[in-house]
Structure 1
Amino acid sequence: MNERLETLKKARDRMIEDRDTHAKVLAAPFDRDNAERARNKFVELQTLIDALDRAIRAEHPVSA
């Protein structure tokens, strides 16, 4: 596995861990301020994870 791909996968794993932390806040009893911040961070992190997924797929070009 090349170094770039390994870096992307490590970054993705780290962002998933961060996202899980915010998901736990969203699953906890409702606290409006905390829930709003957690929701915004969750969406931001999920967008980043999706971008990392695309970058990872780009490292594996489809062969004909």
Structure 2
Amino acid sequence: MSERIETLKKARARMIEDRDAFAKVLAAPVNRDNAERSRNKFLELQTLIEAIERAIKGETAE
């Protein structure tokens, strides 16, 4: 496996950990300020994770 793919996989794992922290806030009793910020960050991280997954797929297709 190339170093590039390995780096992308590590980045993906890190972003999943970060996303999970915001998911925990969303699952907790509602605090509107925290929930709104967590929703935004969750979506931002999910978009980033999906972009990394596309990059991994692109690297493995070559």
TM-score (norm 2): 0.97
Shift of 1:60: 1.1
SS in 2 for 1:59: helix
User: Where in structure 1 are there 5+ consecutive unaligned residues?
Assistant: none
Structure 2 match to 1:46: 46
Counterpart AA for 1:6: E
* Identity of matched residues, %: 73
Deviations 1:11-56 (A, max 9, x none): 0000000000000000000000000000000000000000000000
Which has the larger helix fraction?
2
Q: Which has the larger radius of gyration?
A: 1
Q: CA separation in 2, counterparts of 1:13 and 1:30?
A: 27
Question: After TM superposition, what 4+ stretches of structure 1 lie above 3 angstroms from structure 2?
Answer: none
Q: CA separation in 2, counterparts of 1:44 and 1:29?
A: 22
Counterpart AA for 1:5: I
User: Where in structure 2 are there 5+ consecutive unaligned residues?
Assistant: none
